Amino acid sequence: MQLQEVKKTILFKDMTDREFEEALSRLGAHEQAFEKGEMILRAGDTTSEMGIILAGSVTIESNDLWGNRAILNLAEAGDFFAEVYALFGNEPLLIDVCANEDCRILFLKTAGLTGEMKSSWQIRLTRSLLLIASRKNLVLSGRAFHTSPKSIRGRLMAYLDSMSRKKGSRSFDIPFDRQQLADYLNVERTALSKELGKMKKEGLIDCRKNHFRIL
């Protein structure tokens, strides 16, 4: 994703070229590369910058002091992260942001947007951030729905059903590998793999790596 493609994202939607350039300048836009597995933001830290993924993907995770890991979301090129924390500027992060693969991130300092709006781009950007935050709320609500069933099969069926509806097909790819799917659904990987094997044997699904087909 190049800068002109960034201009087409929801964050800069309907901005003129002049407004877009002024926004990037005033927000101190700068690009940074990260390697797979590298931590981009850590829980407990504060940040005045939000990130736009230009290439690659990142995982939004909750890692506790006992080593338990839960994946809350996977964000890909064109997605955003840490926008709410950046607006507050001094609120400690409750999540980790980790590079899921080699990636490039465009950082923007948005903490100053909470003050008086003097430019048209500031008003447009603030409205866009509200939409982004609302969409993120839907994503987190979706995960709560996926992890609410008590059984592993119930969680798998809830997740695969929502993915099928989202893709508009009974055959689709998911963005997670087996370990990530286990972390997302908050279950053990071995138990997850065992349950997937049972569901395949019973003719409920067919799957290979991250490709699934609901039978």
Q: For 146-190, how does the pLDDT look when each residue is reduced to its tens digit (9 = 90+)?
A: 999 999 999 999 999 999 998 999 999 998 999 999 999 999 999
The CATH code of the domain at 150-214 is: 1.10.10.10
- Residues of the chain within CATH 1.10.10.10 domain(s) are 150-214
| Closest to 179 in 3D by CA, of 66, 100, 125 | 100
CB contact at 8 A, 129 and 83: yes
Q: For 9-32, how does the pLDDT look when each residue is reduced to its tens digit (9 = 90+)?
A: 888 888 888 989 999 998 999 999
pTM, to two decimals: 0.76
Residue 119: which residues within 8 A CB-CB, separation 6 or more? 19, 22, 26
Q: Are strands 211-214 and 171-173 parallel, antiparallel or unpaired?
A: antiparallel
**What architecture does CATH give domain 3-146?**
Sandwich (2.60)
